[in-house]
Amino acid sequence: MTSHLSIQGFGAYVPARRLSNADLERLVDTSDEWIVTRTGIRNRHVLADDESGADAGTIAARRALEAAGLAPEDITHVITATCTPDFLCPNTACLISANLGIHGPMAFDLSSACSGFVYGLETARGLVLAHPDAKILLVSTEALTRRINWKDRGTSVVFGDGAGATVVSACAEGKAPAGGALIEDVVCHADGGQWKLLTVGGGTKQRYEAGDPVDEAFYIHMEGREIYKNAVRTLTNVCHEIVERNGYTLDDIDVLVPHQANLRIIEAVGERLGMGEDRVFVNIQDYGNTSAASIPLALNDAWRAGVFKPGMLALLTTFGGGFTWGAALLRF
């Protein structure tokens, strides 16, 4: 089920401040060996005190527009995937639009945690079908370190901040644009029954009075072992689903670009799919888990490293809180 929809241009941003495993050893009871063995992470980036997720997303968006050869006034819709918005209201997409000087086009946030970018691709596909001339700016940005309990060894070593962006539009020629890719298919799923596995509090479920201190529920909470089991199973299944429904086999996949959550999960999924290290793109060591920004950061890095060659078929796959998961096929 090939559709003539394309990704144009990749842009990304990570904050200048880098937090290494050695830095974390001074903050929490952990070690470089412990972190690398269990997660594969060596560094992550942290927003400056005067930076926000919208700021990071704006920089990534500008870079994506430049790579696509587009100006802000060309954009018809702005979608921001994030689970760490600057505010509950207004939405982060409106803030990014204002930063870019975009006034008038529809702008909204999409919250699907780590699956945000793939969910955003599917949402953009629907908008382009309704509006064939649409040029949709898809920005994934996260400020996860603002919701980390630095005393919690299980989460403080895992997450980092960052943003990635691209533009989704129709592609009449049916071939990948320069510096981009065709979107051949997207699959998205969810199981709300698993919501307790990964949460970020601070919403209206918890009642706060002015002056109340925040408690542990305000920060990222995750059940690591249960997430691992669910993630490996769902990622493997959704990869089979999207490949088979498009008439491919896993041998047709040139490169797997998974959500960079944990190296153990990535390796387990690669093994179950019969895909060796040479066909799986990994950059978790540099950024940690950046949730919705993870896949666009990986796409940007892979593109700039020359990983994608004309004609290559890439398989994206992701899972996140909700519980959400999905996959996409891109043809370069």
What is the structure's pLDDT at 177? 85
Average pLDDT over residues 261-284: 96
* Lowest mean pLDDT, pick from 52-61, 217-226, 314-323: 217-226
Residue 42 reports pLDDT greater than 50 = yes
Average pLDDT over residues 137-152: 95
What is the structure's pLDDT at 2? 39
What is the structure's pLDDT at 172? 76
Banded model confidence at residue 214, pLDDT cuts 50, 70, 90: confident
Q: Please name which of 241, 278, 238 lies closest in space to residue 256, comparing C-alpha atoms.
A: 278
Catalytic residues: 114, 259, 289
The SS3 of residue 208 is coil
Percent of the chain with pLDDT over 90: 87
Torsion of CA 179, 185, 187, 188, to 10 degrees: 50
Banded model confidence at residue 175, pLDDT cuts 50, 70, 90: confident
Q: Which two tokens stand for residue 321?
A: 């809180």
Torsion of CA 56, 97, 185, 70, to 10 degrees: -90
Which distant-in-sequence residues (6+ apart) come within 8 Å of 55 by Cβ?
Answer: 47, 99
Average pLDDT over residues 3-10: 88
DSSP-assigned states of every residue in 136-205:
EEEEEEE-GGGG--TT-HHHHTTB--EEEEEEEEE-TTSSPPTTEEEEEEEEEEE-GGGGGGEEE--STT
What is the structure's pLDDT at 215? 85
Residue 252 reports pLDDT greater than 80 = yes
Alpha helices per DSSP H over the chain: 21-25, 32-39, 53-68, 92-100, 116-130, 153-156, 224-245, 263-273, 284-287, 294-304
Phi, psi (deg, nearest 5) at residue 315: -110, 115
Which burial class, exposed, middle or buried, applies to 209 when counting CB atoms under 10 A from its CB (0-12, 13-18, 19+)?
Answer: exposed
Evaluate if pTM is beyond 0.85.
yes
Instruction: Give me the sheet containing 313-320, strands edge to edge.
Output: 106-110, 77-81, 135-142, 162-170, 5-13, 180-190, 324-331, 313-320, 255-258
| Cα–Cα dist 156/149, whole Å | 6
Residue 3 reports pLDDT greater than 70 = no
Residue 249 reports pLDDT greater than 80 = yes
**Distance from chain centroid for Cα 250:** 23
Number of neighbours of residue 28 by Cβ within 10 angstroms: 15
Residue 115 reports pLDDT greater than 80 = yes
Which of 4-8, 65-69, 197-201 has maximum average pLDDT? 65-69
Q: Please name which of 93, 75, 98 lies closest in space to residue 139, comparing C-alpha atoms.
A: 93
* pLDDT tens for each residue of 79-113: 999 999 999 999 999 999 999 999 999 999 999 99
**Cβ 192 vs Cβ 254: under 8 Å:** no
| Cα–Cα dist 330/322, whole Å | 25
**Cβ 46 vs Cβ 19: under 8 Å:** yes
**Mean pLDDT, the chain, integer:** 95
With vertex at residue 240, the alpha carbon angle to CA 255 and CA 294, rounded to the nearest 5 degrees, is 50
| Cα–Cα dist 222/210, whole Å | 27
Percent of the chain with pLDDT over 70: 99
